[in-house]
């Protein structure tokens, strides 16, 4: 990650979940602070940088916060990683980890995690059994199994976060997830009972999370980020004062 002012970054995705197998991609996610002076111009700085070789995503601090406040599962995991998976940790990054629970709210966590899982199920159902060749069918099966694993993970982690206010990024039994993926690859409808189970679990559980996230600590943190990364730029010219009117 070459973008300046990285505040926090680490290894996410299958490696973080414990679901990686030989040949799996290594995904990285991070957050950076745009120079505060760049925010004052006519055109704001770029908010995200995404590369595929290697696979990495960097979001500007304000954008990351907005996504996290909406309950976005992909960005939220950045502040819940095991210590050994962080590759960049700064004091401001540690401050954000310290206030991570203030980003959460019951409805947004439920809607985001269960919503993502439902989208995954629809993709599995719509994909069909395979392609026109053996190679296409094998690739379809592989992708279906992968998406099924993540459907199960989203359901489990989302419910854990909703019910307890905490998130364990690494799953307890990776082999169980791989078995589930193979079952769904053979029959997409095998994922439906799991999805229905978690829908009922959410409905029947009173969340420990508040109704709305507490934006004040995050707002204060972001203002500290802006202050820390502010370097005044000298003006290129001095305007001539207007003559006083008579």
pLDDT in tens, 117-170: 999 898 888 775 445 556 677 888 888 999 999 999 999 999 999 999 999 999
- Domain spans in the chain, listed from the N-terminal domain onward: 6-103+213-228, 106-203
Q: What is the Cα gyration radius of the chain? A: 22
> 19 near 177, Cβ under 8 Å?
yes
In this structure, the number of other CB atoms found within 10 A of the CB of residue 141 comes to 19
pLDDT in tens, 56-65: 999 999 999 9
Q: State the pLDDT at residue 245.
A: 60
Exposure b/e, 106-126, CB count within 10 A at least 16 = b: bebbbebbbebbeebbeebee
pLDDT in tens, 223-240: 999 999 998 766 665 566
Question: Which pair of tokens denotes residue 28?
Answer: 């990285």
Our CA angle for 16, 177, 117, nearest 5°, is 80
């Amino acid at each position: 990650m070459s973008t300046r002012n990285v505040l926090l970054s680490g290894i996410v995705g299958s490696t973080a979940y414990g679901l990686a197998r030989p040949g799996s991609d290594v995904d990285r996610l991070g957050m950076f602070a745009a120079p505060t002076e760049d925010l004052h111009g006519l055109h704001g700085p770029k908010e995200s940088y995404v590369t595929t070789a290697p696979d990495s995503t960097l979001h500007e601090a304000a954008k990351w916060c907005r996504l996290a406040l909406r309950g976005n599962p992909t960005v939220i995991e950045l502040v819940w990683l095991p210590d050994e998976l962080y590759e960049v940790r700064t004091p401001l990054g540690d401050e954000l980890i310290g206030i991570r629970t203030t980003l959460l709210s019951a409805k947004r966590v439920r809607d985001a995690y269960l919503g993502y899982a439902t989208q995954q199920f629809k993709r599995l159902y719509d994909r069909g059994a395979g392609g026109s060749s053996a190679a296409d069918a094998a690739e379809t099966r592989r992708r279906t199994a992968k998406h099924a694993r993540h459907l199960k993970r989203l359901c489990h982690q989302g419910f854990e976060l909703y019910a307890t206010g905490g998130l364990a990024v690494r799953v307890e039994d990776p082999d169980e997830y791989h078995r589930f993926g193979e079952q769904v690859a053979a029959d997409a409808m095998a994922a439906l009972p799991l999805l229905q189970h978690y829908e009922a679990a959410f409905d029947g559980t009173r969340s420990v999370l508040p109704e709305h996230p507490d934006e004040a600590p995050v707002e204060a943190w972001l203002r500290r980020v802006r202050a820390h990364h502010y370097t005044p730029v000298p003006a290129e010219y001095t305007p001539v004062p207007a003559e006083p009117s008579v």
